[in-house]
């Protein structure tokens, strides 16, 4: 499922990339304000955030009195939307072309990857559509699906496509009646962990999406698929045999022990979720990788817990990012 941006291939296939091959890059001066696009005013990369077990401090004494995050290849196993009810499918061209995945974190907000919108602030959000409850990107299911337009796109102000650092973005969604998502068995929010919470290497999590079923495939998977991966220590992820200094503190790695499954192109922006105390928490956003399911080249993910304050500030979701409340009871 590694969402690698293979420019030449994508140009030839006219495919919008959600996973990008790592390129050489240099640091540039960064602005301090979030990049925001509002209506009236288009995707690439992949892995997860790993931590050394020595620094493992998962003091997850949460208040578990709500039910957000409880569900009522690359990615190899077919999945029902009810098992991943927070997953969002982001389309271009008014719903005609699948672009990236995302995760519903509140009734009105979806988290995804910044690289999914290569035009940045110039993205025409009126051409974006977001679906919840979708199991097949080629078919519609009126009983399960909810369709939304994008009212606002916020790309992290420090994101640079040269290195995929700060690869995170927010979408504010509304349906044709001006309403946000309605909770159902096929549409439910995922929990956000407390700020800077980390899980130990070897912890099993799951990823899901509609990405390519093999590297360099000619098309995305029609059906939602998922697989399990294990978190990889930051030390291993940053080792020369893996990715070296391409890994920043805002990224982490995850993969299967036998390198048989992974995220791939088309899975970008989608969730890496981990079950803790019976709840599913969004720890990673599919960002980038080197190929798909390659030995010593695991998926790379945006470390969501580094962005609680950014999410709270830009989306007004402080109660959702505190780790003390779970929406959509």
**Minimal CA–CA distance to 254: which of 214, 294, 301?**
301
Tell me how far apart the alpha carbons of residues 112 and 164 are, in angstroms, rounded to a whole number.
13
Cα distances from 231 to residues 125, 235, 254, in angstroms, run 34, 12, 4
> Tokens at residue 127, please?
């051409």
Residue carrying the six token digits 């990369």: 45
**Minimal CA–CA distance to 128: which of 278, 9, 269?**
269
Rounded to an integer, what is the distance from CA 233 to the centroid of its chain? 20
Tell me how far apart the alpha carbons of residues 44 and 164 are, in angstroms, rounded to a whole number.
9
Beta bridge partners of 101: 89
Cα distances from 26 to residues 161, 162, 247, 256, 297, in angstroms, run 11, 7, 14, 31, 22
Give catalytic status of residue 167 as yes or no.
Answer: yes
Cα distances from 51 to residues 25, 238, 268, in angstroms, run 25, 11, 22
The sign of the dihedral angle between the CA atoms of 203, 207, 213, 217 is negative
Candidates 184, 233, 265, 268; catalytic one: 268
Tell me how far apart the alpha carbons of residues 74 and 68 are, in angstroms, rounded to a whole number.
27
> Tokens at residue 75, please?
């990615």
Give catalytic status of residue 55 as yes or no.
Answer: no
Candidates 16, 20, 106, 115; catalytic one: 115
Question: CA angle at residue 196 from 191 to 199, to 5 degrees?
Answer: 75
Candidates 167, 262, 267, 290; catalytic one: 167
Give catalytic status of residue 268 as yes or no.
Answer: yes
3-state secondary structure of 171: strand
Residues noted as catalytic: 115, 167, 268
């Amino acid at each position: 499922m590694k969402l690698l941006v293979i420019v030449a291939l994508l140009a030839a296939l006219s495919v919008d990339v959600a996973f990008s091959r790592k390129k050489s890059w240099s640091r540039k001066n960064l602005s301090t304000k979030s990049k925001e696009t509002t209506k009236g005013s288009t995707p690439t990369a992949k892995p997860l955030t790993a931590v050394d077990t020595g620094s493992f401090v998962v003091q997850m004494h949460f208040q578990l009195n709500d039910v957000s995050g409880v569900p009522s290849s690359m990615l190899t196993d077919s999945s029902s939307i009810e098992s991943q009810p927070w997953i969002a499918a982001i389309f271009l061209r008014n719903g005609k072309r699948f672009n990236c995945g995302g995760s519903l974190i509140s009734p009105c907000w979806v988290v995804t990857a910044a690289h999914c919108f290569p035009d940045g602030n110039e993205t025409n959000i009126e051409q974006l559509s977001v679906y919840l409850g979708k199991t097949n990107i080629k078919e519609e299911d009126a009983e399960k699906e909810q369709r939304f337009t994008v009212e606002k796109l916020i790309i992290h102000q420090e994101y640079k496509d040269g290195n995929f650092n700060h690869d995170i973005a927010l979408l504010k969604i509304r349906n044709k009646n001006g309403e946000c998502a309605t909770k159902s068995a096929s549409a439910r929010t995922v929990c956000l962990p407390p700020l800077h919470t980390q899980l130990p290497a070897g912890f099993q999590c799951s990823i899901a999406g509609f990405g390519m079923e093999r590297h360099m495939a000619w098309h995305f998977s029609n059906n939602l698929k998922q697989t399990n991966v294990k978190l990889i220590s930051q030390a291993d992820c940053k080792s020369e045999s893996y990715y070296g200094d391409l890994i920043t503190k805002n990224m982490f790695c995850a993969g299967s022990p036998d390198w048989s499954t992974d995220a791939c192109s088309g899975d970008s922006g989608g969730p890496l979720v981990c079950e803790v105390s019976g709840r599913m928490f969004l720890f990673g956003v599919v960002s980038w990788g080197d190929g798909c399911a390659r030995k010593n080249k695991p998926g790379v993910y945006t470390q969501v817990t580094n962005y609680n304050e950014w999410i709270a500030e830009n989306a007004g979701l402080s109660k959702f990012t505190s780790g003390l409340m779970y929406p959509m009871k």
